[in-house]
Amino acid sequence: MIEQTCPLSDADPWVARDAAVVWHGFTQMAAYPGNSPVTVERAEGRELIDVHGNRYFDAISSLWVTTLGHHIPELDQAVVDQLGKVAHATLLGNGSRAAIEFAEALASVVPVTDAHVLFASDGAVAVEQALKIAFQYWVNRGEAGHRQFLALDDAYHGDTVGALSLGDGGFGTTLFDPLRFPVLRSPGYASGDWAVKLVGAIEANASSLAAVVIEPLVQGASGILVAEAEDLALVGEACRSHGVLLICDEVATGFGRTGRLFASEWAGPDFRPDIVCLGKGITGGYLPLSATVASGQVFAAFDGPDLGETTFYHGHSYGGNALACAVALRHLQLIDEWDVLATVAVTATRLAERLADSVAGRPGVGEIRQRGLMVGIDLDPPPGATRWGRRVCAGAVGRGVLLRPLGDVVVIMPPLTTTVEEIDRVVDALVASIDEVASEDRR
Ligand SMILES: Cc1ncc(COP(=O)(O)O)c(C=O)c1O
């Protein structure tokens, strides 16, 4: 029996107020109040605290954005300091000190040669910008015909129409298919030969490609499907030798999540994407910021006369927001100062061990996939059983561990500073929830 620490939502006035005015994304609002949502009021460290004082370990990093934890004094201070200067000033045609300083720091670590940073506010927009940059790159160079994008099965790049086009669909988005532009597709990481197939598609279509787009190492939203670093390297080499632009969407994998600062780094020093998309963890989970980072070679194709046609006519009101850039800069410094990647190595190893000991092979559990602190656990419900992902995660929430599934895949994506004791807390809650749901369906 779940020890219910939060009150039932129909007795919860916050849930009623919430459902009356807030429209939650990826959420059926008619069912929302009945699904016992957590209403967060504040946070300490890696715990979220709801309006009733219940504490939940944030095992999904608030949808994969939180890196160091919540309410980090140094990050809070960075925002406060910037507030004392200016909260926002546009980057369209003018500069902002906070954006310059963060872009300099980012350019020195991102695996893009001679990096140039175009800011926005969400991951999907970083992808939209990358698509348009790649498309216009060929137009500006006067090389006709490079109009197609090559993307993978099971890809997810966000919910705007361009990003949705690159994505493989699903998630209830099929009705938008008439709006999605066609892209060439190659098998994703679920296929053992995905890289060979992708290299073949690059060779066959090089003259018509604007770019190849991948999520390096991990296809996150499709259930944490994982690739081998050597396979990424093969794809990078094929793009280079055929003169095809490579866009790496590191919105989910960036900023330490896989154990390196960027997942692209696993493929070795020669793996240099032409464009990298960043978001989510870029501000440590504090403020909305994203970035499309283009190589100097890509950037140079946009040189031309003032008000001329080679200009990139694209921008967003809050792109490069000063508060967001200030906290992003401090975050990048802290990853280094605190040696966060060393912590990730220890914690990821502990998580792998606990999953192998306590979760793998358990009734109701299928494959487990992990790269750093990104984990997907396939649930394997008996025939006729429904909503296992939801039910298992609800059980974990009732035990004070916030999890959110992708279908019947339980995703564990804890903050990078998670301790081994907290890993045990997550795994213990998960095991108890899986056993409970499995026994309910055996009755
Ligand atoms: C790889 C990838 N790209 C893009 C996005 C979209 O980011 P956002 O939700 O910030 O628009 C996501 C979100 O999960 C993602 O995983």
DSSP 381-428: PPTT---HHHHHHHHHHHTTEE-EEETTEEEE---TT--HHHHHHHHH
The residue whose C-alpha atom lies closest to atom 4 belonging to ligand 1 is 157
pLDDT digits (tens, 9 = 90+) for 21-70: 999 999 999 999 999 999 999 999 999 999 999 999 999 999 999 999 99
Mapping DSSP onto H, E and C, the string for 134-165 reads: HHHHHHHCCCCCCCEEEEECCCCCCCCHHHHH
Return the best residue to mutate from 24, 165, 280, 316 for the ligand 1 pocket (most ligand atoms within 8 A of CB): 280
pLDDT of residue 6 exceeding 80, the answer is no
Tokens of 54: 């219940």
288 Cα nearest atom in ligand 1:
10
Protein residue with its CA nearest to atom 7 in ligand 1: 123
β-partners of residue 56 are: 48
Distance 357 CA to ligand 1 centre (A): 32
Domains and CATH numbers, the chain: 9-68+340-442 (3.90.1150.10), 73-337 (3.40.640.10)
Region of 58 (left: φ > 0; alpha: ψ -120 to 50; beta: rest) is beta
Helix (H) or strand (E) holding 275: strand 275-278
Ligand 1: residue of 61, 156, 222 to mutate (most ligand atoms within 8 A of CB) is 156
**Residues of the chain above pLDDT 70, percent:** 98
DSSP one-letter string for 327-361:
HHHHHHHHHHHTTHHHHHHHHHHHHHHHIIIIITT
Element (H, E) at 209: strand 209-214
Ligand 1 geometric centre to CA of 8 (Å): 31
With a pLDDT cut of 90, the percent of the chain lying above it is 95
Atom nearest to 215 CA in ligand 1: 1
Residue 318 or 441, more confident: 318
Non-local CB neighbours of 433 within 8 Å, separated by 6+ positions: 2, 391, 392, 393, 394, 395, 396, 398, 399
pLDDT at 144: 86
Distance separating the N- and C-terminal Cα atoms of the chain: 14
Query: What residue type is assigned to position 97 of the chain?
Result: R
pLDDT in tens, 265-307: 999 999 999 999 999 999 999 999 999 999 999 999 999 999 9
CA 228 – CA 381 distance, rounded (Å): 28
Residue type, 294: A
Closest-lying ligand 1 atom to the alpha carbon of residue 158: 6
* Tokens read off for 251: 């919105």
State which ligand 1 atom lies nearest to the alpha carbon of 124.
11
Q: Whose CA is nearest to atom 5 of ligand 1?
A: 158
Residues with CB under 6 A from ligand 1: 122-124, 127, 156-158, 215, 220-221, 249, 251-252, 279
Question: Does 185 score more than 60 pLDDT?
Answer: yes
Reply yes or no on whether the pLDDT at 9 is more than 70.
no
